[in-house]
């Protein structure tokens, strides 16, 4: 079934690979790649965690998806606390990430938003996992009830730590009126493919006709697999991380050293094309040949 999500910049058609970018000075390669993204991808993802450092709001011709930055909950020295209102907040690197701060940022700049989730990594004690699950649920419902922009689609986020728990929450989100369901934590479990498959199938069945997004899935092999299981969209920054390391998805064992920034841009665009199954501005074969020749000089 082909799904579509309506945004203020027009419809977002699925299936879709959504490249992740950053704004600010921490990852300069992103600034060189970003002008190409609207030509290749149907949308762009940025994390609220990094968007806080931007000097101005992003100006893109395609929909801008803004996730919550909830991955910060697993950073070293990060702490998660429960407020008196029963919401989960994250303190990390001198920042406090709250459901209200995330929603305020999304309503200011985003075309699609995702609720603040707390990552449940493998090995987390069951008591803590259930606590994070409950806080993720509370954060999502709070955001939905406090959303003011009627043209901001919201995805309720579930954690992929347990298929039944994820499915029950996905069903609750569907009944509450969310425009989509997103699954977090799968990338931490890619070494457990059966578990990942079970979570996706369960959420797909519970979400009904809502689109499903899976965070952090970037390698073409993984993108194809989760798509066949019912995921409508994925996002990843691995296409540029591989390029920054001088590598292509198609030959990850080969690392090209001493590349110029523009040569790394070439690698990133080849990786992106492989992930989204899109055509490059140049025919793919010709572009790959040009890239190889450049690297051999």
Residue 56: predicted pLDDT: 66
Q: Which residues of 25-36 are buried (b: 16+ CB within 10 A; e: fewer)?
A: eebebbeebbeb
Residue 107: predicted pLDDT: 96
Highest mean pLDDT among 69-83, 159-173, 268-282: 159-173
**Domain positions in the chain:** 4-236, 246-297
Residue 297: predicted pLDDT: 44
Residue 28: predicted pLDDT: 86
**What's the average model confidence in pLDDT over 19-36?**
88
Record the pTM.
Answer: 0.91
Residue 53: predicted pLDDT: 64
**Which residue has better confidence, 291 or 255?**
255
Residues 6+ away with beta carbon under 8 Å from 106 = 48, 66, 113, 114, 152
Dihedral angle at the C-alpha atoms of 186, 187, 188, 193, nearest 10 degrees? 70
DSSP 188: G
Please report which confidence band the pLDDT of residue 76 belongs to, taking 50, 70 and 90 as the band edges. Answer: confident
Q: Would the pLDDT of 293 be above 60?
A: no
Pair of tokens at residue 127: 């008591």
Q: Under CATH, which architecture does the 4-236 domain have? A: Alpha-Beta Barrel (3.20)
Minimum mean pLDDT range among 23-37, 138-152, 190-204: 23-37
């Amino acid at each position: 079934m082909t799904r579509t999500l309506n945004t203020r910049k027009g419809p977002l058609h699925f299936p879709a690979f959504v490249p992740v970018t950053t704004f600010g000075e921490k990852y300069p390669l992103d600034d060189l790649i970003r002008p190409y993204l609207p030509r290749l991808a149907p949308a762009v993802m940025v994390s609220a965690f990094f968007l806080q450092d931007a000097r101005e709001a992003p100006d893109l011709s395609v929909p801008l998806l803004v996730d919550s930055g909830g991955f910060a909950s697993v950073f070293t020295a990060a702490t998660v606390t429960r407020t008196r209102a029963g919401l989960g907040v994250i303190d990390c690197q001198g920042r406090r990430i709250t459901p209200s701060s995330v929603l305020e940022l999304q309503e200011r700049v985003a075309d699609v938003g995702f609720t603040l989730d707390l990552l449940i990594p493998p090995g987390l004690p069951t008591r803590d996992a259930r606590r994070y699950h409950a806080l993720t649920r509370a954060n999502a419902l709070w955001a939905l009830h406090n959303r003011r922009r009627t043209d901001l689609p919201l995805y309720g986020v579930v954690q992929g730590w347990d298929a039944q728990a994820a499915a029950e929450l996905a069903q609750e989100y569907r009944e509450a009126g969310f425009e989509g369901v997103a699954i977090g934590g799968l990338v931490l479990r890619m070494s457990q493919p059966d578990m990942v498959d079970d979570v996706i199938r369960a959420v797909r069945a519970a979400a009904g006709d809502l689109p499903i997004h899976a965070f952090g899935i970037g390698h073409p092999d993984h993108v194809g697999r989760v798509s066949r299981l019912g995921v409508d969209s994925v996002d990843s920054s691995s296409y540029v991380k591989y390029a920054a390391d001088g590598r292509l998805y198609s030959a990850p064992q080969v690392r090209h050293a001493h590349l110029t920034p523009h040569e790394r841009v070439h690698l990133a665009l080849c990786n992106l094309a492989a992930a989204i199954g899109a055509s490059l501005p140049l025919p793919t074969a010709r572009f790959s040949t040009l890239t190889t020749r450049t690297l051999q000089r």
